[in-house]
A and B are shown apart, each in its own frame.
Chain A
């Protein structure tokens, strides 16, 4: 590869100054003339029949412009792309299934009027029995949430590879256990906001804090029976995603519906943090049963996994989160005999869905616990057991995943060196410990049929300014900077020459959205190809004007160069855009649609097939100190090595990893989204729902392993989600190393650990043969 000038360099974020000086425009900053305030009436019951809704009194209130209920909608459920999984209406119809479910919405002149109007809406309910625990929900006496969903099972999947029964019977060592993970909030810095404007010509303009504007366009059109291209989702800054803003939500549709009732008056719905906590999606909580078999040398022989996932009241992405979680049991390490099953079960709680890591941090927590237990039983080092079973480059896994570049073993080696693993394992200090864990994560993928693509236009103006148009969304991860770098590198211009227009469904080419750790990979490939196209057009014009063969022209530093016989700088690229100086608006437009080539659509039945073009790997080590008297865990250090392919911008990549570590620490030790016995959310603000402060985040060392990926733009892979996957498992394993106690449920709060320490002491004291 040629020497890179921009890509792989620490280029500062191109939007950084705007964001830190408050000039960046988030949805909340969008102020439109005549804008109304929208508000939502929510269910006070976890499960009830709606007998009637009377909005007459509310409608009479001066200042009220619109009130909508399910009766105003065509009753089409959303998550349209989820096919048969679609089961939720934007506004509840006849029945509510969780506290906080949307029943009606109001648009009025100000917040006070909205509040009053909501109070005036009369709803009569017939409360129904409800169920909050997924295992109970599967039981014979549980109330059913949805018709045709026996035992409240929304989705079930199972896979069998090889002969697990035989392999378990013949194994030298078998370990098994039950594990539990909690619901977690995404905690985006910007609470969700949506603005919709309807004009009498039928056009709808939307501004929304979303990770996936093209999904929003499609879904809103679907649930309201509109044509997608009548809806334009505009570009805004988005203050965080982590999966909580992925695909569609009910609110975009509700806001649009309100706006359609008052043409010309835009409507804004802005959630409070309390609304977010009480009603938006949370991470899927899982109950995991796992069994692992290995031979005498520590090679894995078989796995058996069964997951019960809490779906909440409606389907979002929990069924596929559960499937991906289960998949980890047979792709993280080489294993030939597998039985895996997963249940996604309805309960009367807010919907659970994807969050950074997509079910992987949960099952990896269980899988990596058992890797350590196998090591313990065989008298081996946890590091050694992992190295024996680690994936190699160019290997095909049991489910058909074709691994190309792979830095798993190198990641393990590098973190072990960095933490001085051998030394720390030899010189054990009571209360202190180290733990190790790995991850594998697909970059993008055909999880939806043919949904592994991105597209881009790259325009070059006569002033040499390059405009990158991309459907990709910057949710704070810095993708606009990364894509600008790819364009600058490919075109041979300075980064200062590049502007990025992103996520406008009317003007930017289509992209699935910022999820599945794929934007740099797919968007990067599309921008690179579009830049190559633009470059080709420029050199073609230049060749005609300069009367030299096109092959002898190069673009460097924003100039066209003749490369032979001696390099000679000709003129700025803009000069070759403008064939006639009077045509001031002319652009060269490079175009590309990039789609993964070697992948197969995800087969929901067999689970077999190479779903992703490439896979990213990591290893984390955590060093902890446990206060055995209080149960408090102090994370002293985390070293994270990530195979990210070529890091397009190492600073951005490290930012993703460090942010994930912080989030992972919260997930492991503090964060717990809980409901009381009535199905009411217990912690509704950051005072009671604790996420780590800077004081809780330890020294982090990130190591980038950079094998050049054959399919990635300049060799890059995705890093957004992989970075979170290994942290919880590494911390839990370090706690075991420190005090010999295996924690099998998250979060490992001081109180919980303290209890486990006490129980362990009682057990030791009552065991007669204890030394």
Chain B
């Protein structure tokens, strides 16, 4: 059995202190739903784990025009936050479909992005939302778009001594709708074969003013399909247009074949799910209440 000590800082400064002190020998621990399983399967553990869930400021959703999510917020809280549900339905949906109830009660949004597996369910929604990631170390603070945060499977942009301190979602315009749809072989407790997030804003005359199409599980990192977005912007929604955008997404996706699915089938699913997601996001944008 692997042995390690768990450190429980009470504030962010103390946490950063510890990170620096034990640099190279410490890892942040949030829900542990990925980390501890890695250890159980024989991956070497560091000497120290830094439990960030006991730092109050990292553990909540703050709403003040924009939405700021602490990385240690668990996925149940993310999926049930009223603000996230009404402004970023796709993120609530992404967070709400990870694992099972028990897992979501432990797993955190910060852990989901820092672990950076291609199939992470909160990644496409954050990408489509143009979210940014705030990071801090003893040396200072920096912020980067979430798209730059993912470097590859299980690789993120954090430097040693750095901790994700906030995930920021911008304020949205009215007539915006979003959705996260994922394809899995079974309904729950499964990894996405393909994950699609679409966020779409309409003009008062119902043309597509702004749209984001993001894909998970089809490349080493989650991707935005800019070609599809460009095609959609400025046009009113139509089924044909969505089909065309979906076809572009399919061509853009570079999935691999594995035990779960062949690459070819994944591409087909991308097409079907992008088409459906655009349609549903559009529906939601139409029925969205005007922003107060």
A interface residues, Cβ below 8 angstroms from B: 629-630, 632, 670, 682-683, 687-688, 690, 692-696, 749-751, 754
Contact = CB atoms under 8 A, between A and B. Distances in A.
Contact of B259 (A670, A683, A696): A683
Nearest to B262: A751
A682 B186 contact: no
B269 interface: yes
- Closest CB pairs A-B (n = 7): A695-B187, A629-B272, A693-B188, A751-B265, A695-B188, A688-B259, A696-B187
Interface in B247-263: 259-262
Contacts of A693: 186-190
A694 B101 CA distance: 12
B268 interface: yes
5 contacts: A690-B190, A693-B188, A695-B187, A695-B188, A751-B265
Nearest to A628: B272
A696 B185 CA distance: 10
A332 to B, nearest CB: 31
Interface in B177-194: 183, 185-191
A695 B259 contact: no
B265 A694 contact: no
A683 B260 CA distance: 10
Contact of A682 (B183, B191, B259, B265): B259
Given A688-B259, A690-B190, A749 B272 contact: no
A406 B265 CA distance: 46
A244 to B, nearest CB: 22
A185 to B, nearest CB: 15
B186 A751 contact: no
A694 B185 contact: no
B185 A750 contact: yes
Contacts of B261: 751
Interface size class of B (residues with CB under 8 A): 10 to 19
B268 A754 contact: yes
A670 B269 contact: no
A249 to B, nearest CB: 26
Nearest to B184: A690
Contacts of A751: 261-262, 265
A723 B97 CA distance: 32
Given A630-B272, A682-B259, A751-B262, A687 B191 contact: yes
Contacts of A688: 259-260
Contacts of A754: 265, 268
A113 to B, nearest CB: 14
Contacts of A694: 188
A665 B188 CA distance: 15
A630 B183 contact: yes
Nearest to B185: A690
Nearest to A688: B259
A85 B186 CA distance: 40
A682 B259 CA distance: 8
B271 to A, nearest CB: 8
Contacts of B265: 750-751, 754
Given A629-B272, A695-B188, A754-B265, 8 more contacts: A630-B272, A682-B259, A690-B185, A690-B186, A692-B186, A693-B189, A695-B186, A750-B265
Nearest to B261: A751
B186 A670 contact: yes
Contacts of A670: 185-186
A688 B188 CA distance: 13
A378 B186 CA distance: 38
A749 B189 CA distance: 17
A670 B185 CA distance: 8
Contacts of A692: 186
Interface in B68-87: none
Nearest to A632: B183
Most buried by B among A630, A683, A696: A630
B272 A696 contact: no
Given A683-B259, A687-B191, A749 B185 contact: yes
A632 B273 CA distance: 13
Nearest to B183: A630
A754 B269 CA distance: 10
Nearest to B269: A630
B136 to A, nearest CB: 34
Contacts of B260: 688
A535 to B, nearest CB: 49
A688 B185 CA distance: 10
B181 to A, nearest CB: 11
A670 B268 CA distance: 19
Contacts of B186: 670, 690, 692-693, 695-696
A754 B262 CA distance: 12
A692 B185 CA distance: 9
Nearest to B275: A629
B176 to A, nearest CB: 27
Contacts of A749: 185
A504 to B, nearest CB: 34
Interface string B6-38: 000000000000000000000000000000000
B254 to A, nearest CB: 18
Contacts of B268: 630, 754
Contacts of B259: 682-683, 688
Interface in B181-216: 183, 185-191
A762 to B, nearest CB: 15
A754 B268 CA distance: 10
A683 B262 CA distance: 15
B214 to A, nearest CB: 20
B81 to A, nearest CB: 23
A751 B185 CA distance: 10
A692 B268 CA distance: 24
A693 B186 CA distance: 7
Nearest to A689: B259
Contacts of A630: 183, 268-269, 272
Contacts of B183: 630, 632
B277 to A, nearest CB: 13
Contacts of B191: 687
Interface in B239-292: 259-262, 265, 268-269, 272
A749 B262 CA distance: 12
A624 B268 CA distance: 22
A690 B259 CA distance: 11
A687 B272 CA distance: 25
Contacts of B188: 693-695
A448 to B, nearest CB: 39
Contacts of A632: 183
A718 B247 CA distance: 54
A671 B272 CA distance: 24
A173 B217 CA distance: 49
A749 B272 CA distance: 17
A629 B189 CA distance: 23
Interface string B45-83: 000000000000000000000000000000000000000
A377 B189 CA distance: 43
B170 to A, nearest CB: 33
Contacts of A683: 259
A449 to B, nearest CB: 44
Contacts of B190: 690, 693
A452 B265 CA distance: 50
A693 B190 CA distance: 9
A237 B269 CA distance: 45
A683 B258 CA distance: 11
A506 B253 CA distance: 64
Contacts of B269: 630
A478 B191 CA distance: 34
Nearest to B190: A690
Contacts of B272: 629-630
A687 B191 CA distance: 8
Contacts of B185: 670, 690, 749-750
B131 to A, nearest CB: 28
Nearest to A682: B259
A694 B187 CA distance: 8
A693 B269 CA distance: 22
